[in-house]
């Protein structure tokens, strides 16, 4: 086990490699029982893509078949898709997040696993790539000229190939063994009955409360059958989207088409509810924002779950009621929009914090975080936080019209600065243009990564600047809402930076928190250029007891 002639240092190192978790046996047993709900549906998709059914043991490793699972770094659902990977196969927006749908996410997982196998050629590598990323495993294969996972685990060194990735295949094998031979480990288990449902495609936008009442089904039951629906839909602040495939419990003599036809026309809509958002700028305070939108500070605080009204920060996304948007002072809004779109002649080298009159210095005593996403988590952190020539974080967004001789009737170019969790793919989606078009516009090579605060040129040819900004704000708002529906800030820790430490290391190896959250707690510190002696406020995150994360 320890090769030849182990020393005391050998055993000390071995102790560091042992991880344990109390209660896992009971959790696994519960996961086995829960798997009965979905196994038949899952087998259908894995047979469709000609995949080994043994791969269906992966959800035991990822979530123990809990479709509500949500990790501190933003992996969601039974298959624990990140937003970056999930958006390749699933619909993820402010009304629907299909990562939480056990059936749709299963098909997405089947596609991803099939792609991994086609690129890597052997299942141990393809399965490990589900955790580490296919490009990371390809680099390991090339570097050591082998497809032997054991040899790669022993020899491959990477900032991101740590304990979780090195042990992922072993965890899968263990989960497969226990799930196939569950009687040996648990005795008999009463599996839950397979989920049975009927489907109905919505021909219009409609409020969930209206539909639940007409169908005589509780919102809680609709949520259980349709876990991809986000909170904005469940509380009817957004309508159920047109074309959504609604799953409904099977009831004898129940015809959803006939019931839907009886809903009055004035309760069916052609468009989604218009919502608006405001992104905090330097110098803002709640009083000014409330006055701008003809609302009260109290309403802004309640609508956005603001705990400390003196601690709003630049870039924070605030929700505004549609009725307040409609009556807002248009002259002031126009003036602010012009100010926001103006091209800045020089980079603004200022702290990203809101003006001093509206902020307080961070300390253990008075810091209160506002209630506010696993990418290829490690490689994303590396590429975004440790690339060279990162632009000044103070550069403002700007929009410039194309010179007249090149201008079409709708084309407007602009520049934005990359925020955390954003990718070129996201920008392409929000702009409704191909990702390759963005690469060409910015002269990026294929596979070249973007970096936090990097200036990116975009083209508003198919959507307006306002529509792009709305989608961008909803993206970040959704990340915060998902996180704080599962986790809470238990306390804060003041961390003094030591030589060699960086934000990637602190977030992933020390505190296990998303970097965007640390950024909120440290608005005046350049997290990409930490120096020994810098003091960081690190949030300590705890699971909310009644959540299912």
What backbone torsions phi and psi does residue 2 show, to the nearest 5 degrees? -110, 25
State residue 3's pLDDT score: 61
Short-list 263, 257, 199, 191, CA closest to 226:
199
- The verdict on residue 130 lying in a domain is yes
Domain count, the chain: 5
**Domain span holding position 28:** 20-186
> Of 481, 508, 535, which residue sits at a domain end?
481
- The verdict on residue 39 lying in a domain is yes
CA distance 340 to 319: 18
Instruction: State the DSSP string of 45-62.
Output: HHHHTT--GGGGGHHHHH
Same domain, 393 and 465: yes
Section 214-232 average pLDDT: 94
- The verdict on residue 377 lying in a domain is no
> Of 439, 461, 481, which residue sits at a domain end?
481
CA distance 24 to 164: 17
Same domain, 464 and 522: no
Joined together, the tokens standing for residue 29 give 């047993």
Same domain, 239 and 308: no
Same domain, 53 and 128: yes
CA distance 430 to 444: 19
Same domain, 114 and 30: yes
Strands (E), 424-509: 455-459, 487-496
Q: What contacts 304, CB < 8 A, 6 or more positions away?
A: 318, 319, 370
Same domain, 81 and 164: yes
424, with CB counted inside 10 A (0-12, 13-18, 19+), is: buried
362 or 120, greater pLDDT:
120
Same domain, 38 and 58: yes
Joined together, the tokens standing for residue 404 give 């007249």
Asked if 454 and 391 count as a contact pair (C-beta separation under 8 A), the reply is yes
Of the pLDDT bands very low, low, confident and very high (cuts 50, 70, 90), residue 205 is: very high
Same domain, 180 and 51: yes
> Tokens 């309403």 map to which residue?
299
Same domain, 202 and 284: no
- The verdict on residue 417 lying in a domain is yes
Same domain, 121 and 180: yes
Asked if 289 and 300 count as a contact pair (C-beta separation under 8 A), the reply is yes
State residue 388's pLDDT score: 33
C-alpha 17: how far from chain center: 29
> Of 211, 237, 267, which residue sits at a domain end?
267
User: How many other CB atoms are found less than 10 A from the CB of residue 163?
Assistant: 11
Q: Could you tell me the pTM of the whole model? A: 0.75
Q: What is the DSSP letter of 452?
A: T
Instruction: Please provide the average confidence, as pLDDT, over all residues in the chain.
Output: 82
In the three-class reduction of DSSP (H, G, I as helix; E, B as strand; rest coil), residue 281 is classed as coil
- The verdict on residue 9 lying in a domain is no
- Kindly give the interhelix angle for 123-132 and 134-144, rounded to the nearest 10 degrees: 130
- Catalytic residue numbers? 62
Q: What contacts 201, CB < 8 A, 6 or more positions away?
A: 243, 244, 245, 246
Section 104-118 average pLDDT: 98
State residue 310's pLDDT score: 75
- The verdict on residue 528 lying in a domain is yes
**Range from 197-201, 356-360, 487-491 carrying the lowest mean pLDDT:** 356-360
CA distance 53 to 47: 8
Same domain, 166 and 43: yes
- The verdict on residue 14 lying in a domain is no
353 or 41, greater pLDDT:
41
Residue 357 has pLDDT above 60, yes or no: no
Same domain, 50 and 172: yes
> Tokens 């608005």 map to which residue?
523
Q: What is the DSSP letter of 267?
A: G
CA distance 469 to 475: 10
Task: Give the Å distances, CA to CA, from 349 to 115, 362, 452, 521.
Answer: 44, 21, 16, 20
**Range from 24-33, 363-372, 534-543 carrying the lowest mean pLDDT:** 363-372
């Amino acid at each position: 086990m320890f090769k030849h002639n182990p020393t005391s240092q050998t055993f000390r190192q071995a102790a560091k490699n042992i991880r344990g978790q109390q209660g896992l046996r009971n959790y696994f047993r519960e996961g086995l029982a829960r798997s009965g709900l979905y196994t038949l549906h899952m087998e259908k998709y894995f047979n469709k893509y000609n995949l080994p059914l043994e791969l269906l043991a992966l959800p035991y490793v990822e979530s123990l078949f809990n479709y509500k699972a949500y990790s501190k770094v933003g992996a969601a659902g039974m298959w624990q898709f990140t937003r970056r990977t999930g958006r390749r196969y699933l619909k993820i927006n402010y009304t629907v997040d299909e990562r939480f749908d056990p059936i749709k996410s299963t098909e997405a997982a089947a596609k991803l696993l099939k792609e991994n196998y086609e690129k890597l050629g052997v299942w141990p590598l393809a399965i490990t790539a589900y955790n580490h990323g296919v490009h990371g495993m390809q680099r390991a294969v090339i570097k050591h000229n082998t497809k032997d996972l054991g040899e790669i685990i022993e020899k491959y060194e990477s900032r991101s190939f740590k304990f979780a990735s090195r042990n992922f295949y072993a965890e899968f094998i263990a989960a497969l063994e226990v799930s196939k031979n569950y009687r040996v480990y648990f005795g008999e288990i009463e599996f839950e009955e397979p989920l049975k449902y009927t489907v109905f495609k919505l021909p219009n936008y409609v409020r969930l409360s209206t539909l639940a009442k007409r169908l005589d089904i509780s919102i809680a039951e609709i949520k259980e059958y349709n876990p991809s629906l986000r909170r904005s839909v469940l509380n009817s602040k957004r309508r159920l989207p047109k074309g959504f495939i609604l799953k409904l419990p099977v009831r004898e003599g129940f015809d959803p088409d006939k019931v839907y036809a009886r809903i009055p026309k004035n309760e069916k809509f052609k468009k989604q509810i218009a919502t608006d958002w405001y992104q905090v700028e330097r110098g803002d305070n709640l009083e000014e924002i409330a006055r701008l939108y003809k609302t009260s500070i109290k309403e802004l605080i309640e609508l956005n779950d603001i705990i400390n009204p003196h601690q709003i920060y630049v870039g924070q996304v605030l929700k505004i009621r549609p009725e307040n948007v409609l009556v807002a002072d248009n002259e002031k809004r126009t003036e602010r929009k012009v100010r926001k779109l103006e091209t800045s002649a020089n980079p603004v080298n200022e702290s990203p914090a809101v003006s001093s009159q509206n902020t307080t210095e961070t300390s253990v005593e008075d810091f209160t975080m506002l209630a506010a996403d696993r990418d290829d988590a490690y490689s994303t952190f590396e590429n975004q936080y440790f690339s060279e020539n990162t632009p000044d974080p103070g550069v403002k967004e700007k929009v410039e019209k194309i010179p007249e001789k090149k201008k079409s009737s709708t084309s407007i170019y602009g520049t934005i600065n990359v925020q955390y969790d954003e990718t070129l793919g996201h920008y392409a989606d929000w702009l409704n243009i191909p990702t390759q078009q963005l690469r060409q516009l910015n002269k990026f090579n294929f596979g070249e990564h973007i970096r936090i605060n990097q200036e990116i040129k975009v083209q508003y040819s198919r959507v307006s600047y306002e529509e792009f900004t709305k989608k961008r704000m909803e993206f970040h708002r959704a990340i915060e809402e998902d996180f704080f529906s599962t986790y809470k800030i238990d306390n804060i820790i003041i961390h003094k930076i030591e030589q060699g430490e960086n934000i990637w290391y602190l977030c992933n190896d020390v505190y296990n928190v998303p970097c965007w959250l640390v950024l909120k707690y440290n608005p005046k510190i350049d997290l990409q250029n930490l120096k020994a002696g810098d003091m960081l406020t690190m949030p300590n995150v705890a699971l909310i007891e009644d959540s299912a994360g």
